[in-house]
């Protein structure tokens, strides 16, 4: 079984609201024959596209190979939230890696957000970038924890973009009976994820990257130079970047043992008209504190784009709309009978500690993946960090790579059944309100 093909048709975007509103872009050719490059990038999501773009801008010759089409994976399907910080809370990072590295990781996360905003501005990517992500708690206890967290980021790191929301202000922003208060982070942002990916691809192609689509990499010879094999051709390159994230399959065993694919789902309702104000009163995105997080925002045409629900096997559920409707109605009971026009799933990758896994799988092969639902900024940034590492400036890459990443129990073979058990337990805790 290969996640590259288990839920999708070859080289077709899923029928998402994003695909329905994608900016037009010319398709790239299939690799046919042998090519040489300084760097061969495998995977055309944010990680691979950003790495390729930065390398080409630095004067390297770059080939990028994508099994389907650019932005096909999580990068073209996600919630579009450009969140602050690393995926793991700073408080936990301070305990795990010490204050010095935690401070460096905070700075790198701020760089990641700034990088996305500057790439969009520099390459004039039309992707509806807008400021503001709120995090809301489901109880007064959670509201207080969110306030304490914001205070920690302000005191320790001088972060001043978070506005505290008490219960009244929380309901003023999001009139759901399920939520209390939390904070609104105006340094975070949201965007159209597929249009962002397509814009990166166009910028990379303009910078000279040779992009090939419908070109699945089937094997990599870890030699110097390395040889990257696809069905109808191969690329000989001094360096290789693995940027396959949740769709890696068995291409590299070391990465597969530490990075686990999971599926997550989004629905887009019919346009809500004046009912939109019963969902959100400002054009910001929201995430909540559940273990299986709910996240949502309004689209440009006033639909609710609601993300919620996960699955841990190879196949998506048969009725994705029904799967997402359940948590959506828990948060917005008045939308019980709303029509869902689009519902889609995507595969992302998580690690045991929810920090990305950046590593050298061989002296000339770098890999970055496992952003654990926090990849809009972090994956774009990891691509840049790998590009810099290849240029001999590895400080940022090494700081990320120093974060200890545990293999999943059971390795690549048994990780899935054990994960299902663990995740089901945590999801049950959500339902029981523990």
Which residues sit at the interface with ligand FAD, rule CB under 6 A?
Answer: 4, 42-48, 65-68, 72-75, 77-81, 83, 216-217, 243-248, 251, 264, 266, 295, 307, 346-348, 369, 371, 373-376, 379
Residue placing its CB nearer to ligand FAD in the complex, 217 or 280: 217
Determine the Cα–Cα distance for residues 317 and 234; give it in Å rounded to an integer.
Answer: 36
- Answer yes or no: are the C-beta atoms of 324 and 306 closer than 8 Å: yes
Rank residues 59 and 354 by Cβ distance to ligand FAD and give the closer one. Answer: 354
Q: Which is nearer to ligand FAD, 83 or 396 (CB)?
A: 83
Shortest Å distance, C-beta 306 to ligand FAD: 11
| Residue 45 or 167 with smaller CB distance to ligand FAD | 45
Comparing CB distances to ligand FAD, the nearer of 47 and 143 is 47
User: Cα separation of 5 and 96, whole Å?
Assistant: 37
CB 390 within 8 A of CB 60: yes
Residue closer to ligand FAD (CB basis): 86 or 433: 86
Q: How far is the CB of 261 from ligand FAD (least distance, A)?
A: 9
Which residue's CB atom is positioned nearest to ligand FAD? 375
Q: How far is the CB of 157 from ligand FAD (least distance, A)?
A: 20
Quote the least distance from Cβ 18 to ligand FAD, whole Å.
10
CB of 344 to ligand FAD, least distance (A): 8
Closest approach of ligand FAD to the CB of residue 274, in Å = 27
**Least distance from C-beta 244 to ligand FAD, angstroms?**
3
Q: Considering the complex, state which of residue 12 and residue 107 has its C-beta at the smaller distance from ligand FAD.
A: 12
Minimum distance of ligand FAD from residue 390's CB (angstroms): 17
Beta carbon nearer to ligand FAD, 273 or 374: 374
Burial 183-200 (b: 16+ CB within 10 A, else e): bbbbbbbbbbbbbbbbbb
């Amino acid at each position: 079984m290969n996640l590259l093909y288990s839920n999708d048709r070859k080289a077709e975007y899923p029928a998402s609201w994003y695909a329905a509103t994608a900016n037009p872009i010319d398709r790239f050719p299939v690799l046919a024959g042998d090519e040489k490059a300084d760097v061969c990038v495998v995977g055309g999501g944010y990680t691979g596209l950003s790495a390729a773009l930065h390398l080409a801008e630095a004067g390297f010759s770059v080939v990028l190979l994508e099994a389907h089409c650019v932005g096909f994976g999580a990068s073209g399907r996600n919630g579009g939230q450009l969140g602050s910080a690393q995926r793991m809370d700073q408080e936990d990072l301070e305990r795990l890696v010490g204050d010095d590295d935690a401070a460096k990781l905070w700075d790198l996360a701020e760089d990641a957000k700034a990088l996305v905003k500057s790439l969009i501005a520099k390459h004039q990517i039309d992707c509806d970038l807008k400021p503001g992500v709120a995090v809301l708690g489901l109880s007064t206890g959670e509201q207080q924890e969110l306030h304490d967290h914001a205070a920690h980021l302000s005191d320790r790191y001088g972060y001043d973009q978070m506005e505290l929301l008490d219960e009244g202000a929380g309901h003023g922003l999001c009139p759901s009976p399920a939520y209390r208060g939390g904070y609104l982070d105006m340094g975070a942002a949201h965007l159209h994820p597929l249009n962002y990916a397509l814009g990166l691809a166009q910028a990379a192609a303009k910078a000279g990257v040779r992009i090939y689509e419908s070109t699945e990499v089937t094997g990599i010879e870890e030699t110097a130079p390395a040889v990257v094999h696809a069905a109808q051709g191969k690329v000989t390159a001094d360096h290789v970047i693995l940027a396959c994230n949740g769709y890696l399959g068995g291409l590299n065993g070391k990465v597969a043992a530490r990075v686990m694919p999971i599926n997550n789902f989004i629905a887009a309702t019919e346009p809500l008209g004046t009912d939109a104000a019963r969902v959100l009163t400002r054009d910001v995105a929201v995430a909540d504190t559940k273990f299986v997080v709910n996240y949502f925002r309004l689209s440009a045409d006033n639909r609710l784009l609601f993300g919620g629900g996960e699955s841990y096997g190879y196949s998506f559920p048969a009725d994705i709309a029904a799967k997402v409707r359940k948590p959506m109605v828990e948060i917005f009971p008045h939308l019980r009978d709303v029509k869902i026009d689009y519902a889609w799933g995507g595969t992302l990758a998580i690690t045991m500690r929810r920090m990305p896994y950046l590593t050298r799988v061989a002296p000339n092969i770098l890999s970055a993946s496992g952003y654990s639902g926090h990849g809009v900024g972090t994956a774009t940034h990891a691509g840049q960090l790998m590009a810099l590492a290849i240029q001999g400036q590895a400080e940022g890459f090494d700081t990320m790579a120093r974060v200890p990443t545990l293999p999943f129990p059971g390795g690549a073979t048994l990780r899935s059944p054990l994960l299902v058990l663990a995740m089901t337990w945590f999801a049950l805790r959500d339902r029981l309100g523990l």
